[in-house]
Amino acid sequence: MMNITLKVWRQKNCNSKGAFESYPVEGVSPDMSFLEMLDMLNERLIKKGIEPIAFDHDCREGICGTCSMVINGRPHGPIKGVTTCQLHMRSFKDGDNIVIEPYRAKAFPIIKDLVVDRSSFERIMVAGGYVSVRTGNAQDANAIPIGKHEADEAFNAAACIGCGACVASCKNSSAMLFVGAKVSQYALLPQGKPERKDRVLNMVAAMDAEGFGNCSNTGACEATCPKGLNLTHIARLNREYISAVLS
């Protein structure tokens, strides 16, 4: 069993001013997940009449992309390729001080405590994150063979869970890795080709309108992406953009 101290960002709502609060947490098992440790703390807080810490989470298997906090300065905590919900307390040690904060970005306003509003991602997707195909009009699935390498790379791009860690870790709050992933997926597949020009232009315009920053190729997004998406998707986004404006 371990005893740790949490320094947690508490903020009542989007309009109020937030501040850090310290909470000692005793009796933490190394087998607990990070969020189970927070569950335990919240149960204790509720019983003491203190409002529990609001945080986003859902599937707790690292795929839904809901969990979103920044742990010790890093989205999803210290382990590469792991979401907050899959992080376990065995990655920490007795006596640790752990700082927990919400994602910071103008495009992700805080709703409460550690919960942020990521609807800006939705609006980017609505701007072009699709292939326009009506239900019932599809040809046979094997009619167009797709090379395994292209298919695999498209899959790698599509593995994005939309958690927003890229934005949180980027000093510019740039959403280029998120947008690059979706543009990449469709650019690599024959089904996405007819709309590729409009898609990249519309999605980039939507991204800019939401107030995300510019990419300065620091690579922080790649380093913190829990699904291992890399900068080649941003390079492809740039390439798609250039060819869309030039042709």
Partner 1 sequence: MGWFTKALSTSIGKKLLVGLTGMFLSIFLVVHLYINLHLFKNDGGETFRAMAEFMGTTWAVKVLEFGLLLGFILHIVYSILVTIQNKAAKPAGYGASPNPGTSKASSRNMIWLGLLLGVFLVIHLQGIYFKAKFGHEAHDIYELTLSVMSDPAWAVVYLISMVALAIHLKHGFQSAFQTFGLNVPKYKGMIEAVAILFWVGVPAAFASIPVYFAFLGGK
Partner 2 sequence: MALDSKIPAGPIETKWTNHKFKMKLVNPANKRKYTVIIVGTGLAGGSAAASLAELGYNVLAFSFHESPRRAHSIAAQGGINAAKNYQNDGDSVHRLFYDTLKGGDYRAREANVHRLAEVSGNIIDQCVAQGVPFAREYGGLLDNRSFGGAQVSRTFYAKGQTGQQLLLGAYSAMNKQISEGRVQFFPRHEMLDLVVVDGKARGIVTRDLNTGEVKSWAADAVLLATGGYGNVFFLSTNAMYSNATAAWRAHKKGAFFANPCFTQIHPTCIPVSSGHQSKLTLMSESLRNDGRVWVPKKAGDNRPANQIPEDERDYYLERLYPSFGNLVPRDVASRRAKEMCDKEHGVGATKLAVYLDFSDAIKRLGKAGVEERYGNLFDMYQQITGENPYEVPMRIYPAVHYTMGGLWVDYNLQSTVPGLFVLGEANFSDHGANRLGASALMQGLADGYFVIPYTLGDYLATKGTDKLTTSHEAFKKSEEDVKAVTKKLLAVKGKTTVDEFHKKLGLIMWDYVGMARNEAGLKHALEEIRKIRDEFWKDVLVPGSETEFNQELEKAHRVADFIELGELMALDALERNESCGGHFREEYQTEDGEAQRDDEKYAYVAAWEFKGVGEKPELHKENLTFEYVKPSQRSYK
Q: Which of residues 49-88 bind partner 1 (CB under 8 A)?
A: 70, 72-74, 78
Cβ proximity to partner 1, 191 vs 238, nearer residue: 238
Question: Does 216 participate in binding partner 1 (rule CB under 8 A)?
Answer: yes
Which lies closer to partner 1 via its Cβ, residue 52 or residue 219?
219
Q: Which of residues 33 and 232 has its CB atom nearest to partner 1 in the complex?
A: 232
Q: Which helix (H) or strand (E) holds 9?
A: strand 2-10
Which one of 169, 173, 174, 185 is in contact with partner 2 (CB under 8 A)? Answer: 185
Residue 245 engages partner 1 in binding (rule: CB under 8 A): yes
Residue closer to partner 2, measured from CB, 26 or 214: 26
CB of 153 to partner 2, least distance (A): 9
Say whether residue 66 binds partner 2 (CB under 8 A).
yes
Q: Name the pairing type of β-strands 19-28 and 2-10.
A: antiparallel
196-209 vs 232-246: helix crossing angle, rounded to 10: 110
- Beta 110-112 vs 115-116: how paired, if at all? antiparallel
Of these, 34, 178, 186, 212, which contacts partner 1 (CB under 8 A)?
212
CA atoms within 13 A on the CB side of 245: 9
Name the 3-class secondary structure at 133.
Answer: coil
136 binds, among partner 2, partner 1, none (CB under 5 to 8 A by kind): partner 2
Q: What is the DSSP string of 166-190?
A: HHHHSTT---HHHHHHHHHHHHHSG
